[in-house]
Each structure stands twice: as structure tokens, then as C-alpha cells.
């Protein structure tokens, strides 16, 4: 009788592990599905319709400031 109880306990443990693996897989899939749309979103459109960076004025352009120029000099 003790062996029968042990066999049932092993079967119950395996069923429990299988169930928990399934729950973990579904939970992981739900998290991944929630992340994909946020990663795939495009940048918001410019309301003025300006697509070129030059159209945004001088603030959008790259500037080599004094400290950047000193860094570039160290690379030579």
C-alpha cells in the first residue's frame, strides 16, 4: 500500500510540474506580447510636416564644441 501512495505522489508531482511549466510559458508569452508593440512603435510624426533635420533649425545640428574638439585631437 505504501508503494501505491508513492507512485501516486510521483504522478501528482509530475502533473504539478507540467502545469507550472505551462503557466510559466503562458506568462512569458503574455509579457513578450506586451513588449512587442511598444518596441515596434514608430517615432511620433512631426506635426509641422518637417522631415529633414535642417528644417528644425540650428538646434538639431551637430556642433563640435571646444571640449569635443579636444577629444577629437586626442584620437590623432
* pLDDT tens column, 50-72: 555 555 565 667 888 999 999 99
Q: Tell me the C-alpha distance between 24 and 16, whole Å.
A: 12
3-state percent helix, strand, coil for the chain, nearest multiple of 5: 70, 0, 30
More confident residue, 52 or 75: 75
* pLDDT tens column, 8-18: 778 888 989 99
- Of the pLDDT bands very low, low, confident and very high (cuts 50, 70, 90), residue 36 is low
More confident residue, 33 or 68: 68
Domain definitions of the chain by residue range: 2-38+52-74
Amino acid at each position: 500500500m505504501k508503494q501505491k501512495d508513492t507512485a501516486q505522489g510521483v504522478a501528482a508531482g509530475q502533473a504539478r510540474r507540467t502545469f507550472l511549466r505551462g503557466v510559466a510559458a503562458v506568462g512569458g508569452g503574455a509579457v513578450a506580447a506586451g513588449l512587442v508593440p511598444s518596441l515596434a512603435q514608430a517615432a511620433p510624426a512631426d506635426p509641422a510636416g518637417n522631415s529633414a533635420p535642417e528644417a528644425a533649425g540650428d538646434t538639431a545640428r551637430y556642433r563640435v564644441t571646444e571640449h569635443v574638439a579636444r577629444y577629437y585631437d586626442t584620437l590623432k
